[in-house]
Amino acid sequence: MTDSALNSPASLLGALALELSADAARGRDALPQREAGALAERIAGDLAGFDGEAARLDLVTVGAHYDPVELLRPGWPLHHELDHLAARAPGEAGGRIVAFGTHEGRLPGALAPSADYAGGPLRLVPLVLSGDADVAAAVGARFERELMERGMAGAGTALHAQEAFGLAIEHARYLTLHDLLALTAMQYEHAGLAPLWPVLETALLSPQDEAWLDALPEPLVHYAGGVAHLALFSPAAWRERYAGDERDEARLLRGHAHFEARQRQFDAVLRAHGVAVSFDHCAQDADPRASVR
């Protein structure tokens, strides 16, 4: 992983990705402290097996699994929370293994997985590697080049995670957040959401920048100032922009309903990723782009 919006010079962000079988039972989403520590020990062993220098860095993780949308949010809040909590953990930095688990059924800080996104086929155990900047940079560069290709978790780690969480795991592998972004982009393309991805990618990687989705027949979206502005059209304004020469009333009604459904889909995806959304009214005969600034 290179120094970017994803990482500080002395930390690397990633995850253990658990691909579940189609009929997997839900199991449990968080582990008690002792079990979380045992899983973290296995993760540390795997990472050191990929690159021995990784053992010189602190590994910080949590005995819990999350949906990808919970990790891929502006500012990487879940990883930031791990880093924040680890700063108060005892022990001398440099090769520590810090794992957070439940106490009396609750995870510390803001680490509780959201029930709103439970049950998906891909679950992620987030991790942070941190320490000496030169070591982190060297390990990160190698992980960025190689982890996607050879980052399968050890058989013992996969089995441990399966038994601990009570999940039917088909594959367990390690990903950098860059890898996870690329995987998510591909999945969204297959789901018909490719037009929205550049807006979402900007919100995640360059939140200070702007991005437009202005391509008929898609909804008009302008990301700026940390907010995704969606143009809200009246039926008349929508016809003016989107309907062209269509005059069949039934087809127009269906087209408008489809457009509104697409807007709701975009709204749901953006909010799931923690991106603020504003619906801005666009009057008939007005410049739509001027309405969503």
Segment 139-177, tens digit of pLDDT: 999 999 999 999 999 999 999 999 999 999 999 999 999
For residues 247, 249, 253, 256, the Cα torsion angle rounded to the nearest 10 degrees is 10
- Which residues are CB-neighbours of 195 under 8 A, at least 6 positions away? 213, 215, 218
Of 156, 190, 224, the residue that ends a domain is 190
**Domain stops at, among 190, 206, 237:** 190
- 35, 103: one domain: yes
Q: Specify if 1 maps to a domain.
A: no
Work out how many domains the chain is built from and give that number.
2
Number of neighbouring beta carbons within 10 Å of residue 287:
10
Q: Are 222 and 289 in contact (CB under 8 A)?
A: yes
* 21-64 per-position pLDDT tens digit: 987 677 899 999 999 999 999 999 999 999 999 999 999 999 99
User: Is residue 79 domain-resident?
Assistant: yes
Same domain, 199 and 262: yes
171 and 28 in a common domain: yes
Higher pLDDT, 274 or 243: 274
pLDDT at 90: 75
Report yes or no: 126 and 56 within 8 Å, Cβ to Cβ.
Answer: no
In the prediction, which pLDDT does 10 show? Answer: 74
- Looking at residues 236-253, what average pLDDT do you find? 88
What is the predicted pLDDT for the residue at 166? Answer: 95
Q: Structure tokens of 129?
A: 């590697």
Would you say residue 279 lies in a domain? yes
In a domain, 105, yes or no: yes
Residue 5 has what pLDDT? 56
Q: How large a percentage of the chain has pLDDT more than 70? A: 94
Q: Provide the terminal-to-terminal Cα distance of the chain, rounded to the nearest Å.
A: 34
Residues 149 and 214 in one domain: no
In angstroms, the CA 142 to CA 215 distance is 38
Q: How confident is the model at residue 2 (pLDDT cuts 50, 70, 90)?
A: very low
- Domain shared by 218 and 236, yes or no: yes
CA–CA dist 182, 229 (Å, integer): 24
Q: 169 and 210: one domain?
A: no
By residue range, what is the domain housing residue 251?
194-291
Q: Last residue of a domain, which of 190, 218, 238?
A: 190
Supply the mean pLDDT for the chain.
Answer: 92
Asked if 165 and 241 sit in the same domain, the reply is no
2 is a domain residue? no
Same domain assignment for residues 94 and 171 = yes
Q: Do 143 and 257 fall within a single domain? A: no
pTM of the model: 0.91
Does 5 fall in a domain? no
Instruction: Give DSSP secondary structure letters for 101-152.
Output: -BBTTB-STT-PPPGGGTT-SEEEEEEEEES-HHHHHHHHHHHHHHHHHH-B
Q: What's residue 88's pLDDT?
A: 84
In this model, does residue 211 exceed pLDDT 70?
Answer: yes
Query: Is residue 48 situated within a structural domain?
Result: yes
Q: Are residues 31 and 96 in the same domain?
A: yes
Are residues 204 and 122 part of one domain?
no
* Same-domain status, 88 and 203: no
Assess if residue 3 is contained within a domain: no
| 255 contact partners, CB below 8 Å, separation of at least 6 | 242, 243, 246
